[in-house]
Each structure stands twice: as structure tokens, then as C-alpha cells.
Structure 1
């Protein structure tokens, strides 16, 4: 918990995990003026090497040493998935705020336990569902409320970084990444975005999964899905479908969402995040991000003038800024918490179960 004896409102952050996403967290923390106190990695040598690269003050030999140091207010967890739960539970037990990468845990019951522990501990928790922080996503959420009943939700999340048999990563290993790789890694982002934008919950789904690359050079036979398709129904009765893939040639990080409602449709493409497509019976248009025409909800996340593109880093900066503000008792609407992380884990488990059993699953 925050030390009330300190006069400064500066948030003191620690990071465990020194890979790509750890660097993203570190950059965002520095951008918003947090003090990046410490780094823990696979070992002391790894952490020491990362100190300068991440802009931190000190390397710690273990994550426990970092958690119990008394020098940090928040721990950013950027490790392989199977380490999320034990580290987060230890940090919350010590009274720290926790920002934990998704998936929150490798199974839904553990993720739910983490959400309950966070609530009981009274600590701030957050999960980087950062696509919520695109201004045009906030604009979509705002405009959808005036379009009437939603009839159809469709989209995809497509990547190609695991297309070849020589492409490999710890996420392919279910012991480290969990049993649901593509659904848990990128499908969780899409599910979170759908429920955030529409305010509607998925209540039933039916999924298919496929292993397209049966064996990888580094890890042998593949046991986690390369791609999946999911049909679903929401609480309001809207129908939906999504395809997720990490073997879609040419698609680097294409999250696409389209929602059709009674009086209009809208669509957001993360590879073209400066625009929101608006559709109507008599015509359609591409709404370009412009602070002069955005709603108040979107304007808050649009610091740059029109024509100055915003992207992933800006989303991450906004997410970390909102999380750190909430640590300082200044809560921000739309911050994804451990409850949201547990919800995504629940939907991942439901999709995997559906694929295994070949039937619709209640959510």
C-alpha cells in the first residue's frame, strides 16, 4: 500500500520480466513520470543487464526481494503466463498494487481467485487490455449507445508471427503459456473489447480450434491452437462471430471489430486506429480522429492534434497513467481490473471446452 508518511505523490514502480512487454511497461511508467525503482528477472545477471535498458534504478536478485523491499508501490508483472498468479498473489499479500499482463492466469478458477484476493486486499489491480485506450474505441463506445439494439457483432484478431515451423516462443508450450494460446493471448483482447464497447456480455459460445503448424523446431509437437473460430450470443440477444489466428500471412496485429445495430453500424481496425467507420442506411463515412469533433469520452485519450497519428505506445501510456492515477486514489472510468482479467480467462476456458466437447457452452 502507499506509504502515507511519504509527502510525494510519485508512484514507485517495480517490474518483473525483462522481455519485450517489460520494456513497454517500463517506457510507459517513465513517460507518465513514475519512478522506476527496481527490476527483477530470471536471475540477478538478467535483472542487472536490464536496469540500464529499462531505465530503472536497481536490480533485485528475486521478485520476492523486490516485493518485500518497501521501495515500491506497484508491481508490473511481465513474465511468462504460468508465473502471473503466484507473483501477483504474493504482491497483493504484501499490500502492493499490481499491474499484471494477460492472460491473468492459465486457468479460469485461478484468475477468479486472483480477482477475489484483490477485492479482499483492497489493492488496485489492472490488466493491460490496452486497446480500450484507443480514442476511436472510446468514440465507438460512446456512439453505439445512440444506435439502438445491437443485432450482430463480428470481427477478427489476426497475426502471422507463428506462421513458419521455425517460429517458436514459450507461449507455444502449454506449461508456460497455458492450454489456450491464440484464444488466451489475443482472443482475450477481442472478447474484452467487445464487452467493453457494447456493454453486453457473451452468454453462450461455440468454438473450433486448429493446429496448423503441427511441429515447431524449438519445442516439437504443438499442443496449443494456432487459430480458432468462435460463434456466440450475448445477453441482449445479439449474434456474434470472431476468428483469431497467429498463422495469417501478412497480418501483423490486425484486431478488427464491427457492430451492427438498429440505426447504424460502426467498425474499428487496430491497424488503422486513427479512423472509425460509421455505416448507415443512406450512406457511410470514415470518421478521422480529430479532437475538434470527438466526444468527451474519446477526447481525454486524444492528446495530439489531428494528423499526428497515435498508436500502441499512446494506448499503453494512457493505460499505465490511469492505473497509476487510481493507485493515488484518483479512479478512472474504463480501467481494466483483475475482474476483467478473470472474465477473459473464463471466456477462454469456455471456448477451449466447447472445442473439446463439440458443443455450445454457457458463459
Structure 2
């Protein structure tokens, strides 16, 4: 059924091709791709075996065959490009964060509502089956949530010679580690628990006040080795790591540690949700496992198995037990939820989507504003 929809993807860096792969696995026709230059777009077109390389974004928007545009471009481009997509009458799936500021986010939420189009933010980690299982259990039970603690750890910016556009405030935003990966954790906690952040106490750290940037831009995670003479020193103001305390409405407490300078942790999101009858522990580097802690009986170790995951997770589990589903699968499943809403049209419940909608994207921008203010003023900030 998804073959009735045609999509285009803007962006040829790390994540753009991941979108293409996820869409194709779902059965969506991906007609073409655009990039900063026609040469980059054509190179990606050949590598991905797509039909068309667009000379620029405007040419992609002008293609009447495209129903949906996926934005996998630097953060600074999200706001203007989302506006263009909506004005062109096409559905949009935008990489996080939704925009650079909450003011921009508010505008995009209103534009999306007025357009009647489907608009999503790619918080794909919601769609690990075990996260959907946790959401289901918390919704179906009546346990009180006491606390949520966890973190998101990476090491790809450990050295001062590690560089990517994300470290620049004018390209990625005032926050970096928190915005880039910390908002994944925050969105996931809201999604699984339904808790709303009430107040923030944040401590941000820039480990490398300066970094040595290649004189020519590089892509994320490309392992390119450069000589000293190929580097130039630049000042850095964005966060390498952060410690954040959270107060949730209703009394639950939270702790989040985010870092992109923790050696050996390639992409490790963890949470431990403590409730009045059980605790739920998840680790994204072992995403097919869920530890369910008990006090008065043996704790459970649940492995992903469609025979054991009923209800909410069931449509988003495509392989038998023992056949692991991982990071690329979360994109496919996120897009499944989004494209189901497109096919449902007006019948879709745009206020309670499984995929992150623009309201969810705005929530993260508001939280990020509070984190910046809390760190600067060294105090609790209430939302």
C-alpha cells in the first residue's frame, strides 16, 4: 500500500541515505535526492540507485510526483525548509531538532496545523519494540512512576581533532550534545511514560574549548585521518556533555547524563524507569532486551519475540524471536507510523500519533531553552 506514495530525500550526509533505505524497505518509492550541490546529489543517486538527482531543493519541491519530503540536512536549514515543504503542499518528515529556537518551532506547529498536511520529527528511537512494550505496560497498568534515570553516551567527538558541523552553534544551535542526542532521551521518556517535564537544573560542559577543524569539510563518522597542516583551530561554545536534573509534573524525578566524549560508548542510550510495582531498564546497544525488575519475585529478562509482544508493539516487530532488530529498523518503523497516518488522511488522530509530531518537536525546543537558561543562571528553571 505504501507504493502509492512517492518521496524525496533532502540531504546526502550520514542520515539521508538511512532515510532512503528505511523508506525502500517499507515499500515507498523514493524518486530522488537533493544536496548542497548537484555533484553531491548525483554521487548519492548513483550510490543509492535512485531515479533522479535534483539540482537543488527548489527543483525537488517543484516535482509534482513527490507527495512527501524527508529533511536530513543541517539543523539551521530545518526551519526554512519545513516552511517551503508545507507551502508546496507536501507532507514532511524532518530530522530533529525541529528548528533552532522555540519561537521558530511555534511558527512551524501553527503552519502545519493550518496546512492539513502530516508533519513529523524523526525521533526514531521510540520504535525499538522494547520501548513500545514499556509504553504499553505503563499505559495499561496503574503503577505510580517514581523516577527515570539514564543517559546517552557517544565517543565520536572525544578528541579535539574530531569535527563536524554540529559543533558550530550557528549550524547546529546553542546546544549540541543535548540537542543532538539528549533530546532523543527526553522524547523517549515522554513517549513511554507520558510524564511532562516541569522544571530543569542543568550543568553544561564544553570539554574542548577549541577544536582543530579540517580546512575542507568532512562527513560524520568517516574515520578520515588528517595531517596537522590540514587543520585549523576554531573556538567552540557548544556542549560536549551535560548533567541534568528533572522534575516531572505529578512528582516523579529524573536524571539525565549526556556526553559525546565518553570513550568506548558508540551510541548508548539507557533508561531505568522505577515504578511502584516494577522497574524497566533498557540499553540501546542491546535493543532486543528489556530487564523488568521485581521486589517480591524473580526479575524478568524479556527478549524481543513477536509471540510475546502483543498489542501496541506487534505491528512494529517484523522478525521472529532471536532475529535481532536494530537501529535501521527504527527508521522503517517510524516511517511506517507516519505513512499510515498519510494514508489514513483526515481519519488519522493527529493529536496522538505514535511518531513524533511537530508538537513533540516543539516540546524538546522548549526544554532546550530551559536547559540553556538553567546552566547560564545556575538555578532551577520552571517551564
Q: Structure 1: which 5+ residue stretches go unaligned?
A: 1-6
Task: Tell me by how many angstroms 1:341 deviates.
Answer: 0.9
Name the SS for the 2:32 alignment partner: strand
1:86-97 equivalent positions in 2, closer than 5 A: 86-97=80-91
- Give the distance between the partners of 1:29 and 1:56, measured in 2 at CA: 12
Label 1:8 to 1:310 Cα distance change in 2 as closer, same or farther (>3 A). closer
1:91-110 equivalent positions in 2, closer than 5 A: 91-110=85-104
Residue 237 in structure 1 maps to residue 232 in structure 2? no
- Give the distance between the partners of 1:147 and 1:306, measured in 2 at CA: 29
Q: Deviations over 1:140-168 (max 9, x none)?
A: 11122325111111000000000001110
1:62 to 40, 56, 70: 56
1:300 to 315, 321, 338: 315
Task: Tell me by how many angstroms 1:8 deviates.
Answer: 9.4
Residue 350 in structure 1 maps to residue 370 in structure 2? yes
Cross-structure match for 1:263: 277
Label 1:242 to 1:347 Cα distance change in 2 as closer, same or farther (>3 A). same
Name the SS for the 2:4 alignment partner: coil
Task: Tell me by how many angstroms 1:9 deviates.
Answer: 5.9
2:143 to 131, 141, 148: 148
- Give the distance between the partners of 2:193 and 2:199, measured in 1 at CA: 16
1:1-363 equivalent positions in 2, closer than 5 A: 10-145=4-139, 146=141, 148-218=143-213, 220-282=234-296, 283-329=298-344, 331=348, 333-363=353-383
> With structure 1 as the length reference, what TM-score do the two structures score?
0.95
Would you say how many aligned residue pairs link Structure 1 and Structure 2?
A: 357
Task: Tell me by how many angstroms 1:263 deviates.
Answer: 1.2
- Give the distance between the partners of 1:27 and 1:153, measured in 2 at CA: 33
Q: Does the 8 Å CA contact 2:244/2:255 hold for their aligned counterparts?
A: yes
Q: Deviations over 1:240-288 (max 9, x none)?
A: 1100000011111110011111111111111111111101112312111
Task: Tell me by how many angstroms 1:359 deviates.
Answer: 1.0
Q: Structure 2: which 5+ residue stretches go unaligned?
A: 214-232
Q: Deviations over 1:323-346 (max 9, x none)?
A: 122222264841211111111111
Name the SS for the 2:30 alignment partner: strand
Q: Does the 8 Å CA contact 1:39/1:50 hold for their aligned counterparts?
A: yes
Q: Does the 8 Å CA contact 1:36/1:55 hold for their aligned counterparts?
A: no
Task: Tell me by how many angstroms 1:309 deviates.
Answer: 0.6
- Give the distance between the partners of 2:81 and 2:50, measured in 1 at CA: 20
Q: Once structures 1 and 2 are overlaid, which stretch shifts more, 35-44 or 94-103?
A: 35-44
Q: Once structures 1 and 2 are overlaid, which stretch shifts more, 275-284 or 71-80?
A: 275-284
- Taking only aligned residues, the RMSD between alpha carbons, in angstroms, comes to 1.5
Q: Once structures 1 and 2 are overlaid, which stretch shifts more, 175-184 or 283-292?
A: 283-292
- Give the distance between the partners of 2:356 and 2:49, measured in 1 at CA: 26
Q: Deviations over 1:205-231 (max 9, x none)?
A: 110000112211105121100000110
